[in-house]
Each structure stands twice: as C-alpha cells, then as structure tokens.
C-alpha cells in the first residue's frame, strides 16, 4: 500500500506511453481493445488520463488506482465519481485502499474537498466494457477501428434503482 512517497497514481498514463494499437486484452475477456505500451515513469505523467491497460486491469483485478496493489474486500473504497447513463450509474474509477484514498485526498487536486464522497465500495455492481470506435476515435488514436469498435475502458456499473448514493452528490 501507499507510503507518503507516491506522487503519481499507478494507473496514470505517461508521455512515453502515447502510442496505440488494437490487441486482444486479457482484462477484457480477450476482446480486441485499445492498447498502449507499458512504460510507467518514463516521460511526464498525464494525470487526467489513465493508461488503458492499467485501467482495465485495476477493475478486473480490483487493484488500487493509487498504489497498484490488490484491494481486499474489507479495504475497498471509492469516491462516488461517475455519472448516470441509460438507467445505470457508471464509473471508470477502480477502488482504492483507505490509506491510499486518504493520501490522494491530500495530494490530488481533483479529489481535494471530496472527503464526503469517500465510502466503502458498494455491492450489487456489474463490470461493463466501454466500446470505442468511429471517425473521432480513429482521428484521436490514429488507428482504423473495426466496425464493431474495440474495448476502451472497463466500467463498474449499478442499475439506477440500486444507486442509493445518487442523491448525496454535493
């Protein structure tokens, strides 16, 4: 778990990872997915964009997005970040350890002031594959996508009727 030395989250992308291919992904049930090289620590961190493969791995294996270690069921927290779409509350944010979350609240500008959103990870969720493709994706990633698209991120999703926290966003 985190020590006070972590300054870049485990799943953050780095400038040396900004090339893309389409490859089968074991974290997306072997489906074709957007892939980029694994070079954490090389170049500059891109805090606002998670690395595609590490993001999928963090959800598939319940890895903390801060330190990259697996979260135990009794130490699996989240920040209630996400939105409602088509009757579902969805997030691309994997859970974090409580200690890592407390550290992130201190060092991450995006999370400062969101202490009220930190809570144990609720159950009753589904893991969904977010499909990407089409002209905009082809332009953004410099690739030709198959007509059915490819997996981008994984999402944790709850049916809207189970999203009891939705009225607490502040």
The confidence score (pLDDT) of residue 110 equals 86
| 169 domain-assigned | no
Of the pLDDT bands very low, low, confident and very high (cuts 50, 70, 90), residue 163 is low
Domains contained in the chain, number: 1
| 119 domain-assigned | yes
Of the pLDDT bands very low, low, confident and very high (cuts 50, 70, 90), residue 160 is confident
Q: Domain residues for 40?
A: 12-164
Q: Taking 60 as the threshold, does the pLDDT of residue 111 lie above it?
A: yes
Over pLDDT 70: what percentage of the chain?
92
pLDDT tens-place string over residues 129-148: 999 999 999 999 999 999 99
What are the CA-CA distances from residue 83 to residues 20, 49, 140, 158, 163 (Å)?
27, 17, 23, 11, 11
Give me the chain's average pLDDT, please.
90
| 2 domain-assigned | no
| 29 domain-assigned | yes
Of the pLDDT bands very low, low, confident and very high (cuts 50, 70, 90), residue 168 is very low
Closest CA to 51 of 11, 90, 85, 84: 11
Dihedral (CA of 74, 101, 79, 27) sign: negative
pLDDT tens-place string over residues 28-52: 999 999 999 999 999 999 988 899 9
């Amino acid at each position: 778990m985190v020590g006070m030395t972590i300054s870049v989250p485990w799943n953050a992308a780095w400038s040396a990872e900004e090339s893309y291919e389409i490859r089968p992904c074991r974290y997306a049930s072997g489906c074709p997915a957007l892939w980029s090289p694994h070079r954490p620590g090389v170049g500059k961190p891109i805090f606002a964009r998670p690395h595609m493969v590490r993001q999928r791995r963090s959800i598939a294996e319940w890895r903390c997005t801060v330190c990259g270690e697996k979260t135990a069921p009794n130490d699996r927290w989240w920040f209630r970040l996400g939105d409602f779409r088509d009757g579902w509350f969805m997030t691309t944010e994997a859970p974090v350890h409580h200690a890592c979350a407390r550290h992130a609240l201190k060092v991450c500008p995006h999370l400062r002031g969101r202490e009220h959103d930190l809570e144990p990870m609720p159950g009753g969720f589904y893991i969904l594959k977010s499909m990407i493709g089409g002209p905009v994706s082809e332009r953004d990633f410099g690739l030709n996508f198959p007509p059915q698209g490819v997996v981008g991120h994984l999402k944790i999703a709850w049916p809207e009727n189970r999203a009891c926290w939705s009225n607490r966003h502040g």
